[in-house]
Homo-oligomer: A and B are copies of this chain.
Amino acid sequence: MADKQFVKEIADINVDFPQWYTDVVLKTQLVDYGPIKGTMVIRPYGYAIWENIQRELDARFKATGHQNAYFPMLIPQSLLDKEAEHVDGFAPEVALVTVAGGEKLAEPCVVRPTSETIICSMYSKWINSYRDLPLKLNQWANVVRWEKTTRPFLRTSEFLWQEGHTVHATREESMAETLDMLQLYHDFARDILAMPTFIGQKSEKEKFAGAEATYGMEAMMLDGKSLQAGTTHHFGQKFAKAYDITFLDKDSKHKHVWQSSWGVSTRLIGAIIMAHGDQRGLVLPPKVAPIQAVVVPVAAHKPGVIEKATEVAAQLRQLGIRVELDTRDQSPGWKFNEWEMKGVPVRLEIGPRDIENGVSTYSRRDTCEKATLPLDNIAQSVANLLEEIQTNMYNKSLAFRDSHVKVAHNMDELQEALDSKCFAKVVWDQDADCEALLKEKLQATVRVMLDEPVFQDSCTICGNKSDKLVVALVARAY
């Protein structure tokens, strides 16, 4: 019955997943379309999720010795052109400022699609000695990439992200940074987003333009597709050579530096939605939920109800729980539906009977179970419940994922896996022709290479034997 009501508001998740996604992001007021095609307005409920992501990530960045800075958004066209692969990769989707202050500019400016070029030009000026290294900066910023096909959070012409850019004296250090940040993303997704991810190196084809190696974090969505949720790049000395970033080492020799970069974006909000949602709408992990618990008075006109509900909300707030007291002039049923659609982890009801019994009826969003909690010490009980929900959501996602990964020994098995909405582990000879075939025949891609022992002596895709065999994760992807 409650589910039926929602069918009216949002598409059936099992029938039309893309429409379900669109309905959910719009109707829960996470986001709206901006006036220019492909842009999004991040509404307060969506932005609060981003703020929680930022706070958690920023603390982890700082704890690992990174500092924030801010680099200009407008980059001279000529600066972008210095690294050949990089400009080839990004030129097709850049936005250009050609007129400013009423005059045509002598040289157009690129609105940053990413900031390697401008940051490297500054690093070249700032770095002189080994004493200046390592330099580990991050920026929180907007970027613009003119995309043909867009969807809120997943692919938009403008999005918000963080981009870390680090500089080191040796290859070992920059490589360690590249992998450490990949692990940091993985742990963050696990601990905060309740989202298990696969991490590993990307193929040559999927590499970031200008990088020596790219590593990715891939998350499984409920439709069995993969979402690239974060990447880290090892540049080796490629940008250092293009932008002339050198330092005087302890041995009195001038050397080029070694670099990494890494980023995650507002796309993570899309990942949360598609990894945890259900028929009723959003299911938000407590650690990123803008509202962790909502208190709904029932029979609010009865004496003592509003007072008790207010008192309970205050107790929760006191303990640091993000709580909302819903005293709006609407029926409890209407409110229950709305807060369920919005994915609030815990709903507390306070009515005359609850008060009489010294309890609050609660409903947890992850399982939709209802039960009661004693009013005595209720804040601590809710805090415990939130912990339990966070853990349960991760375990549920992990179980879902583990039951949706198949080992494919040949193309038939691979197709069968993908068609049954699973990821596939394959053995791959790292040949680009195999990737082309995957794309053409199965609309799938190699997401990452996994650090696992190969389970057969020939490539799952082409059947060839090779001394370059690796285990790769293949999936259809966003």
Contact = CB atoms under 8 A, between A and B. Distances in A.
B95 A97 contact: yes
Interface stretch (A117-125, A185-193, A432-440, A460-468): A117-125
Contacts of A131: 328
B69 A47 contact: yes
A68 B44 contact: yes
A315 interface: no
Contact of A36 (B36, B109, B122): B109
Interface residues of A, number: 57
Interface stretch (A10-18, A72-80, A199-207, A254-262): A72-80
Contacts of A93: 101-102
Contact of A35 (B111, B121, B142, B147): B121
A132 to B, nearest CB: 11
A301 interface: no
Interface of A is mostly: mixed
A67 B44 contact: yes
A14 B109 CA distance: 39
A91 B102 CA distance: 8
B43 A69 contact: yes
A72 B43 CA distance: 11
Given A35-B118, A36-B109, A74-B158, A67 B94 contact: no
A160 interface: yes
Contacts of A352: none
A92 B96 CA distance: 19
Interface string A31-71: 01011100111111001101100000000000000011111
A362 to B, nearest CB: 26
Contacts of A147: 101
A99 interface: yes
A146 interface: yes
Nearest to A66: B44
Given A67-B44, A79-B35, A102-B92, A73 B118 contact: no
Contacts of A42: 69-71
A67 B34 CA distance: 19
Contacts of A294: none
Contact of A148 (B76, B101, B108): B101
A99 to B, nearest CB: 4
A222 interface: no
A1 interface: no
Interface string A384-418: 00000000000000000000000000000000000
Given A47-B69, A67-B44, A100 B109 contact: no
Given A50-B70, A51-B68, A95-B101, 4 more contacts: A34-B72, A39-B74, A42-B69, A100-B144
10 contacts: A34-B72, A41-B72, A47-B68, A47-B69, A93-B101, A93-B102, A100-B157, A101-B146, A101-B148, A111-B111
By Cβ-Cβ distance, the 6 closest A-B pairs, closest first, are: A101-B146, A44-B67, A39-B72, A34-B72, A95-B100, A42-B70
